[in-house]
Amino acid sequence: MVSVCIHFLLMIVAFIWVVSVFTDKSVKQADFLATGAGGGAAGERAKILEHNLQVKKEKTLAKKVARITSKSVEAKIALPDMRVSMVLPDAMSSKLSGSSSKGFGGGSGGGMGSGKGLGVGNTRNFVGRPVMGAHIVATKVAVFMDASRSMARYLDRVEGEIRKQFPDADVFMYSGIWTNVKDDVIIGGLRYKGSTGRSGAPPVKLTDPEKLTANGRHIFKQYDANFKTGCVGAWLDIMRNERAYDGLVIFSDFQDGITQYRSPKGEKSESYSTRNATMVYCDSMRSTLPTDERKPAEKRWEEELINVFAGGKSGHGPRLYLFSTQVEPQSLFARCVTASGGQSKMVEWLRDGGNPPPDNEEVTIGKPVVVKGATGSAVPGSVRAAR
């Protein structure tokens, strides 16, 4: 009886022990996200979630990364990208808790940054393309080249320099750089209704239609006679309204300048002939006219021209760029450059076949400053973009 009792007791103890171990092993952790509802931050489900996250974190950190070894001293080894879970192991370390309200956690974020970039439109941060010492801030340019005999030796090189940066530039070549005005109308310009045909001496190199874009060929076909009659004045007056171009470039020695005439009373200013007209203004290099005798109404064409170029800084008009081998561009041209935010450059170095001076500055479009001439003195009317 004693033996039977002892064995019975041992069986009871063994049964209790086996059931206890089996129960502990069969307990499975909840595999859901606690919301904290009903228990707040101290609720049972919140505690279970916190425990599960901690276990997952420890398992993540415990993962071993395969080691890469090399016996060669000079071996080049490219290490693999680090996993996000290894780089930011603490991303899950914060405790998730809830209040008495329903819902799961919450979060917010923010960032700081800065950047610079290029743009189109008003091109405010567009540095521009270097051409013979200037920075042309434009995407499509039209070029007027003085193809008179005195400029013949420069034409090929200057055209090549421009096409390095603007391969699709529309280049127009005419003999001279004059601007003739009768009363307040630019001869050959948009408001000119008279005849055409006066062209002076023929250019040493003609405009090549094959090198023009489709838009350039259309302009050439429509206004070639105007440009021959009115030269650069007519070209500027017509091209200022051609929206296909955001940059206009003029290359010359700027010796001819601007000449304005007053028609006799009763005579209409519909002809380019100035035989009976009175010269009231001239600023060419060979001018002997002592004063400007124009009336306010006879200067309106200048303000119209400047106002159009004033839109260049905001992308609503073309920027004007001037390159001169000998004489500083006339005052009106300089004012148009200033208004548009363009640049004016003396390129005397072309005479000796040299290269432009080094430019270590970064151009940013801003207020214009005076450019120094070859002698080192400040030259009125010549501007470039300030840094």
Indicate the number of domains in the chain.
Answer: 1
Output the pLDDT for position 254.
95
359, part of any domain: yes
Q: How far is CA 334 from CA 146, 239, 302, 381, 386, in A?
A: 18, 17, 12, 5, 15
215, part of any domain: yes
Q: At 341, which amino acid appears?
A: G
pLDDT along the chain (387 residues), means of 10: 92 84 55 46 56 59 51 52 44 42 46 42 61 95 96 96 96 95 92 81 94 97 94 96 95 94 77 85 85 92 94 92 95 96 94 76 39 37 35
337, part of any domain: yes
- Considering only CA atoms, which of 209, 218, 224 is closest in space to residue 171? 209
Output the pLDDT for position 104.
44
Q: What are phi and psi of 113, to 5 degrees?
A: -175, 165
106, part of any domain: no
Question: Which structural domain, as residue segments, surrounds residue 375?
Answer: 129-385
Does residue 242 sit in helix, strand or coil? coil
149, part of any domain: yes
pTM for the model stands at: 0.62
Output the pLDDT for position 52.
64
Output the pLDDT for position 53.
61
Residue 115 CB burial class (10 angstroms; 0-12, 13-18, ≥19):
exposed
Q: What are phi and psi of 217, to 5 degrees?
A: -65, -35
